[in-house]
Amino acid sequence: MANWNHPFTGLIRKSRPAYWGNWGLNMQIKPGAVGIVDPTVGDFRLVAEALPGVKVIDVPASSTWQLSSEHVSRQEATVNIDGSVVDPESGTKIEAGLEVKWGLEKAGAIASEFSLSHESIIDDFGAAMLQNMDFLAKKAKSVSMGQEGQIAQGFGVVTGVLWANSGLNVGSQEDKGMFSICGSVSGIKEMLGKATGKGSYVSTNQDKSLDQHLWPEKSGRIAPTPVPIAYTFASFDGRLIIPNWIMQLGSFELVLVNKLGCTYITKVALTYNTPAGSKTEKLQISGGLTKTIGNIPLNATRLKLDITFIGILNDDNYSFHWDNPLGQWLTGQRHIDMDGVWPAKTYCVEREAH
């Protein structure tokens, strides 16, 4: 596989939708780092080590990180070690050991396991970025990511980092790959987040061609520092801050789905504010039809959507509010599903909220 960070990021976003992966354990990724994210694969390229004057806050993280794609099996087994190897944390000779083995049955299969340390975030990153806007625009221009004080999407600031004490990323280049790691019971459990302490290992073994990144990098050692394994990133559209940037955004879209079989006609009214003034859009949707309100500008705020199911005796009314879609609509879209068969109760939900 040409780039592993893309599928790795996809796995992470199943539970952490705003995060990018750091498959190769790039140590340049830290809160406040200024640079470029390639939206195709999520790789980060450093431009400036730190945004001036930022304050970083550390918050606890649960210890275990365990992700895998399809076609991955995992086995643990106790093993005997000859006693000639010393555990780097305790200083005692290892006799009883533990081996963890991953079977990677298909090319492209991924296993990622870490012992999490903590999460670091920039305190009030929006204010920090506004205070440094000219600095950021100058840096963006220097790498052809901006001009005339405007900044292109993809250039920005790392706003948060998930750190790990130890662990590994492994991906198989071929079918029927295998990777295993062996060491003291405590060292391996700590390595993979099943215990507190510093992870370590004595040896690794593999079958077939693999892409692997371990921390600590070498056997018989304890990692000197935590390593970044995932991060959040804020970018810009001109001088407009996009707080959680995960893809190129042109405008917002609201997709309204009146499901097939719905016997109600719905009336829809969307209002929102922009620097140029407020705007209202109205439409009507029959059962079985989908309509899109597109070209909602990225600087739109205080969106309010009112939906009315037109009844024979009484109408049913629903409202949705998004004060700041730029911080809430990660993909630039929201879907509203509508359904109902008269005289039963109507149904209207925001798909992304479920």
pLDDT digits (tens, 9 = 90+) for 242-251: 999 999 999 9
What's the pLDDT score for residue 133?
95
Residues whose CB is less than 8 angstroms from the CB of residue 160 and which lie 6 or more positions away in sequence, other chains included: 31, 119, 120, 121, 122, 231, 232
Domain coordinates of the chain in residue numbers? 5-242, 252-353
Average pLDDT estimate for 261-279: 94
CA angle 143, 149, 150 (to 5 degrees): 75
Residue 60 CA to residue 31 CA, distance in Å, equals 15
- Report the share of the chain in percent with pLDDT over 90: 77
Lowest mean pLDDT among 1-5, 194-198, 304-308: 194-198
pTM, full prediction: 0.91
Q: What is the pLDDT of residue 1?
A: 60
Kind plus residue range of the DSSP H or E element containing 167:
strand 155-172
Residue 220 has pLDDT above 90, yes or no: no
Pick the CATH number of 252-353 from 2.60.40.1430, 3.30.70.20, 3.40.470.10, 3.30.360.10: 2.60.40.1430
Tokens for 194?
A: 């099943």
pLDDT tens-digit profile of 226-245? Answer: 999 999 999 999 999 999 99
Q: What is the pLDDT of residues 303-323, one digit of tens each?
A: 999 999 988 778 899 999 999
**Whole-number pLDDT of residue 345:** 87
- State mean pLDDT over 194-220: 89
pLDDT at 195: 67
The alpha carbon dihedral of 139, 142, 148, 150 has a sign of negative
pLDDT tens-digit readout, 327-352? 889 999 999 999 998 888 899 999 99
**pLDDT grade for 83, boundaries at 50, 70 and 90:** low
pLDDT value of residue 344 = 83
